[in-house]
Amino acid sequence: MKTISKLWFFIGILIVLSPLGLLLPEYFKAGSAWGEWGVDEILQMVGYLPEGLGKISRIWNAPIPDYTFKGQEEAGLLSLSLGYIASALIGILAVVVLVFLITKFLSKKDNL
């Protein structure tokens, strides 16, 4: 198996495993998925909100908040897991396209 094939296979496994951040806290009744806290949850856990985080939270909104699409906020765990997988696929596709475009731009510049 070629190295690039191994890489894509590994990325595929990571995509399928991405809902673990949602499933394990649900299974262990641990609350939110680790590291995916909102500013209100950070304020509650830590006791304060870093100033920079407060500023950027007003400016930046996630394209797919909570990894769910509109109307699926109260959906079951399976539907939410599919949202995680879709978010992973969209993110990987965006990175691949961006790297491809940067590579094309830089390689044409070197040929001049």
- pTM higher than the cut 0.85: no
- Say yes or no to pLDDT of 3 above 60: yes
pLDDT digits (tens, 9 = 90+) for 16-47: 998 887 777 777 877 776 677 888 888 998 89
CB 37, CB 45: distance < 8 Å? yes
CB within 8 A of 41, min separation 6: which ones? 32
Convert the pLDDT of each residue in 42-73 to its tens digit.
Answer: 899 889 998 888 888 888 777 777 777 777 76
Report the pLDDT value the prediction gives residue 111, as an integer from 0 to 100.
57
The answer to whether 84 and 26 are in contact (CB under 8 A) is no
**How remote is the C-alpha of 74 from its chain's centroid?**
19
